[in-house]
A = this chain, B = another copy of it.
């Protein structure tokens, strides 16, 4: 196996898969392409993952598993404003930490299908309610949609890709507040 990346074989496989997903989309990436990128056989890939879906889930799970704790932490706060702020901080931190995963995979059709069947979907719905309320009016629904799309895709924008994480986080939080806070 090529040794040009640090980490375990599993980590290198997931990093190579994410690179290929960004170049070709999930549907356009085969297990053979992942094997070729790593310089291993397809059997070696199958030794670690049973299917491409399993690889996608392994790439997104570290991010998805953070959603529940973000919602828990926010719901433990008193008052709408504190809850909303706690969620915003949590989500922005998550987007910054996983900016490549987020921008590459959030709107991939394969990933959307997997997330719809994933337990984390409930946490995502809790987060939306914490940000937009339980009965949002049309204006609030559109702002939430713009915020979701904007936060998830911003990390892929060539104009911001070189910002360090701290600047990126601060500016993202400020942009999110402009959208949500009257």
Residues of A within 8 A of B (CB): 22-29, 103, 107-110, 128, 136, 138-139, 141-157, 159-160, 163, 167-168, 171-172, 174-176, 178-179
Given contacts A28-B109, A142-B154, A146-B179, 14 further A-B contacts (CB under 8 A): A103-B107, A138-B160, A139-B171, A141-B163, A142-B175, A143-B171, A144-B159, A145-B153, A146-B176, A148-B157, A149-B149, A149-B152, A175-B179, A179-B179
- 20 A-B interface contacts by CB (under 8 A): A25-B26, A25-B28, A25-B109, A28-B110, A107-B153, A141-B157, A141-B160, A141-B163, A142-B168, A142-B175, A144-B157, A145-B155, A145-B157, A146-B179, A149-B151, A149-B154, A149-B156, A150-B150, A150-B153, A175-B179
A141 surroundings in chain B (CB, below 8 A): 157, 159-160, 163, 171
Copies in the assembly, this chain:
2
A139 surroundings in chain B (CB, below 8 A): 171, 174
- Choose among B24, B26, B154 the residue that contacts A146 (Cβ–Cβ < 8 A): B154
**Would A175 and B159 count as touching, CB distance under 8 A?**
no
- Choose among B29, B149, B171 the residue that contacts A150 (Cβ–Cβ < 8 A): B149
